[in-house]
Amino acid sequence: MEFIKAQKGTQDLLPAQTEKWQVVEDVMRSEAKLHGFGEIRTPVFEDTRLFQRSVGETTDVVQKEMYTFTDKGGRSITLRPEGTAGAVRAMLEHGLFNEGLPLKLFYLTSCYRYENTQAGRQREFHQFGIELLGSASYVADAEVICLAKSIFDRLGVKNLKLEINSIGCPDCRAKYYAALREYFSARKEELCETCQGRLERNPMRILDCKSPICSKIAAGAPKMLDYLCDDCKAHFEGVKTCLDAAGVAYTVNPSVVRGLDYYTRTVFEFVSSDLGAQSTVCGGGRYDGLVEELGGQPMPALGFGLGMERLMLILEAQKVEFPEPETCDLYIASLGDKAKLEAFRLAHRLQEYSIAAACDLNDRGLKAQMKYADKISAKYSIVLGDNELESGKAEIKNMKTGEKSKISLGEDFVEQFIILQTKNEDDIAF
């Protein structure tokens, strides 16, 4: 019988990979908490209208990529394509805005988009996300950008480039849209079918089109920075001043617009030369109108999403070293039923003291048990048989050095093992 394989665009994370992901996730959680952010977890699926209203009906995400279905109750449901909309919905539903502003949230979550799969682009992918709600200050923009950079710095990521831009507010963007429509209308017939539809509804989306023809045409389009109102200019200058004060290098790139409709003013991306075509590993910006769009009172907000799969590809390409994974501290081999029971009892006692211990679960012979101890990289091993049970003592072996010593199987067994382990670690450190 043929076995069923994982779906296209998804991947299994095996234990060796998961160990590395956990190291990265721990750094992310640590940095988020240092900046005062608390973790939020939202459902994997939401009412489809949430994403239509937040992400934008003219985006590729809504038009082409969402996993949308009708449930048994006749409701239109969508697997989340990004994390911001769900976090804002939860903030409004549970009244988190009453806890004091700014409200700082972070999440590690899975997202789903029906895309053409390639390295760094999956149909199920994972994001670390930051949402800061309730601050209109340009200092908040800089803090969020610096938080992303601090994660990369702690992980030892190199060759990252920060690109920033401002896409203005609704007032100054109206003038910019008029200029874009005039520019693109002259070459409307050359645009792809999707961009022809965007021309009237949201011409800035054309700047984000992946079509080579549309991209070439867009290269000569007017720049948003030339249309910023005085307030938006001042805000953007404030962001740059803060980044300069923090010693964070950046490049102003007028082409950075981000792919979702809810962005306003500051937008930014961290791009890598080690990712090929999928160069953006982290992107975000300000979304001052989203909370109101989803039914709340007007509230400024901003955040970013950091792609885990792409980050792991960069870490692999740059050969960033990870800590050695934790392994079994003590493997207890056994011969006979009585010894098997005692091995289980001792392993359980060690585990109660947060010591990684294992015993035979497969009724293997001694040779096979010791081979298994090697496979799981056990640091120490003990063999229990009738003689050891009668004497109440056993020989413990350091699996790396081969050194052996005696250990009592009595009430102080755990304490003896801790002392032995600590002594050897001190010797190594010395």
* Residue 429 pLDDT exceeds 90: no
Cβ distance 83 to 42 under 8 Å? Answer: yes
393 vs 412: CA distance, rounded Å: 12
Chosen CATH of 15-169+229-317 out of 3.30.1280.10, 3.40.1360.10, 3.30.930.10, 3.40.50.300: 3.30.930.10
In tens, the pLDDT along 183-223 reads 988 888 888 988 888 888 888 888 878 788 998 998 889 99
Lowest mean pLDDT segment, chosen from 16-30, 32-46, 211-225, 356-370: 211-225
The pLDDT-based confidence of 393 (bands split at 50, 70, 90) is very high
Q: How many CB atoms lie within 10 A of CB 312?
A: 19
What is the predicted pLDDT for the residue at 278?
Answer: 58
Averaged pLDDT, 376-400 = 96
Question: pLDDT by residue (tens digit) across 263-307?
Answer: 899 999 999 988 776 589 999 999 999 999 999 999 999 999 999
Cα atoms in the 13 Å half-sphere on the side-chain side of 292: 8
Name the CATH superfamily for 330-421: Anticodon-binding domain (3.40.50.800)
Q: Tell me, what's the pLDDT at 430?
A: 31
Q: Is the pLDDT of residue 246 over 80?
A: yes
Average pLDDT of the segment spanning 356-373: 96
CA angle 317, 321, 323 (to 5 degrees): 145
Give me the chain's average pLDDT, please.
Answer: 92
pLDDT over 50 at 428, yes or no: no
The answer to whether 265 touches 236, Cβ cutoff 8 Å, is yes
Which has more pLDDT, 194 or 413?
413
For the chain, which residues make up each domain, given as ranges?
A: 15-169+229-317, 330-421
Q: For residue 139, how many other CB atoms are within 10 A of its CB? A: 14
